[in-house]
Amino acid sequence: MPDVTLTTLRALKQKGEKITMLTCYDATFADACCKAGVEVLLIGDSLGMVLQGHDSTLPVSMADTVYHTASVKRGNAGALIVADLPFMANATVEQTLHNAGLLMQAGAHVIKVEGAAWLAESITKLAERGVPVCAHMGLTPQAVNILGGYKVQGREHNQARQMVADAIALEQAGAAMLLLECVPSDLAGEISRAVKVPVIGIGAGPDTDGQVLVLHDMLGLSLSGRVAKFVKNFMHGQPSIQGALAAYVKEVKAVSFPAAEHGFSA
């Protein structure tokens, strides 16, 4: 697979080809994902739940994320690497710049931050210093205690209008990508059309520019036994993990995943 860059992703959006992203936390799975054609690898703070066994992403540290980013970097063969800033790692602009630098030095190509329009200043400062940013909107797991749980965001009219405005504001601030989590499908499609940067969805319907799932979820692995509505087990009918990864890429590209049952209405 040729090296994937932000230019690659913008070109895919422009021609209407879906982008594939999966979370990834180590060198072996980085290699397997690249062989399957996954274009973007996300070192998500989801590692706190699926690797460390916590009940939320909040305990994940910068040291954890740096370690796993470096691990993914060593197994990567051409994918774009996006790494999460964990909980409270971007509480101030200065802290954001410092911690983003650590992740970029560990091997990230893009830094992901959770929030809304309040991120604009940090995003601009990062972009000015050569650090591309993916802004994570909608259900932001680091704010789970404010949100009152893992709930769909943007169902109310005013909240939906604000989300569209925030997406445009973050693009104008310099965001290179957006990620929408647990957003009504129609709203996610509207946001994807309102901005020029690639928009990746998880639980956001089929009309975003690409899709992401947590690796363990799409392989049918769950500590809790609970499966989110937007998850599909791609191990079903496959003889191997490599086959499941390839099936995920094929279905996202064919726009057969996510199907209607994986999305949310307003």
Q: Which residues are annotated as a binding site for Mg(2+)?
A: 45, 84, 114
Binding site, by residue number, is 45-46, 84, 112, 114
Catalytic member of 181, 190, 251, 261: 181
Q: 214 phi and psi, to 5 degrees?
A: -70, 130
If phi > 0 it is left, if psi is from -120 to 50 it is alpha, else beta; for residue 152 that is beta
DSSP 245-266: HHHHHHHHHTT-SS-GGGS---
Say whether 156 is catalytic: no
**What beta strand segments (E) does 14-142 contain?**
19-23, 40-43, 80-84, 110-114, 133-138
In angstroms, the CA 235 to CA 256 distance is 16
Binding site for 3-methyl-2-oxobutanoate, by residue number, is 45-46, 84, 112
Q: Which residues are catalytic?
A: 181
